[in-house]
Structure 1
């Protein structure tokens, strides 16, 4: 970002060097004034760093789900580095080689990648298992089949764990009063036509599929707009996928980046310093949250309208 701003003032630097003798002398004492080659290098570095900056913003958001973005980000970085390694610029090739070594240190081994990276992508109805397979083919072409078997095995194990927990909750919530068996249902079944029975037999295979298998065999959602709300999709489809929606709720609550939490701690350090150390935890939380709300609000906030409400809260009269 600093280089991007500096590049816009290239002509201003040249004018200072040409017209301001003091400026020229100050820079000459140090590393010298920027030359044409320096500005060319700046523009080249900006072009290289821009994709990483965009990807960083993508996975560091705090107001939207980021866990499902990381697998796609890994693929983009992998392809970007491969493209630079095969370009004609020797400086970029040298830099990309060092970056690729660092990338492989963390992401070069498929078995060391946290399973949640794969799982979050699978639970995105626009990606599912197909996009995981595509990425594995790109990143680990020599071990693609082994990686996909590992992912499928771990996915079904996790689903079985959630299913057993969900089943215990269901049984616990059932009433102990026995249900009466209706004779009319038996009579109705005996009168079912052969055609209906044949139809039901055809659906046996579908009915025997697990919730996970049904989800994976359905077509991917084609809504790829920037306004797609992943959490809303799972909320709407939770009646169809009650177990998977529980998995999605737990997985998507995990931020893929620590930027947001580090920022919160930094803000807390500025609120609770050596001169304000007697603030209670409740007051610190209130100050941090209020500051965040004021900054994020797109409309001006009229504090006078909240005075009476705050007074009621202090007097213990507020209803919650």
Structure 2
């Protein structure tokens, strides 16, 4: 929805100027917030598409997609924008719960993948501890 609204920023502004009863025009700060949220949610959208794919095998990619979400949440946990930081905090709590429940199931396909093996998992975990 954010993607479809952003090209019409000027149209919303013009409508607010022309129609005095149009009280729900997003402010410039609202548009900045929408942009920030859109960039944050893009990673979730891409990961969801990969993980929920039904016309091709995806299990070997689960770990990589979920790991990208984990890194995104870590990066934005201390966001200067308090609204985003609060949103990310709640997302991180849910993510951590999911991660604990599915960690092993997500790692096994990576370990069995000849391109990565166990060393890749160890590398990722160790690298995340140093951040």
* TM bucket, shorter chain: 0.7 to 0.9
Pairwise mapping of residues 1-320 of structure 1 onto structure 2 (< 5 A)?
A: 2-19=1-18, 21=19, 24-25=20-21, 27-28=22-23, 32-107=24-99, 109=100, 112-113=101-102, 115-138=104-127
Q: 1:115 to 1:94 in 2, by over 3 A?
A: closer
Q: Structure 1 unaligned segments of length 5 or more: list them.
A: 142-320
Judging by fraction of residues, say which structure has more helix: 2
- Quote the offset at 1:43 in angstroms: 1.2
Provide the aligned C-alpha RMSD in A.
Answer: 2.0
Give, in angstroms, the shift of residue 129 of structure 1.
1.5
With over 3 angstroms needed to count, the CA separation of the structure-2 counterparts of 1:70 and 1:41, relative to structure 1, is: same
* Contact 1:75–1:138, Cα closer than 8 Å, also in 2: no
Per-residue Cα deviation, 1:240-286 (whole angstroms, up to 9, x for no partner): xxxxxxxxxxxxxxxxxxxxxxxxxxxxxxxxxxxxxxxxxxxxxxx
* SS of corresponding position for 2:114: coil
The offset of 1:123, in angstroms, is 2.2
Give the greater-gyration-radius structure (CA).
Answer: 1
> Any idea what SS the aligned residue of 1:4 has?
helix
Whether the 8 Å CA contact 2:47–2:66 is kept in 1: the answer is no
- TM-score where L is the length of structure 2: 0.83
**What's the TM-score once normalised by structure 1's chain length?**
0.37
The Cα offsets for residues 36-66 of structure 1, whole Å up to 9 and x where unpaired, read as: 2221211111111111111111212222211
For residues 145-173 of structure 1, the C-alpha deviation after alignment (integer angstroms, 9 at most, x for no partner) is xxxxxxxxxxxxxxxxxxxxxxxxxxxxx
* 1:177-229: CA deviation from partner (whole Å, max 9, x where unpaired): xxxxxxxxxxxxxxxxxxxxxxxxxxxxxxxxxxxxxxxxxxxxxxxxxxxxx
Measured at CA, do residues 128 and 52 of structure 1 come closer, stay the same or move farther in structure 2, by a change above 3 Å? same
Q: Find the residue that maps to 1:126 and give its secondary structure.
A: coil
SS of the counterpart of 1:63?
Answer: coil
Note if contact 1:71-1:118 (Cα within 8 Å) is conserved in structure 2: yes
Higher relative contact order (CA 8 A, sep 6+): 1
1:114 positional shift:
5.9
Q: Secondary structure at the match of 1:34?
A: coil
Task: Report the CA distance between 1:137 and its aligned residue.
Answer: 2.9
Q: CA, structure 1 residues 58+123, in 2 after alignment: closer, same or farther (shift >3 Å)?
A: same
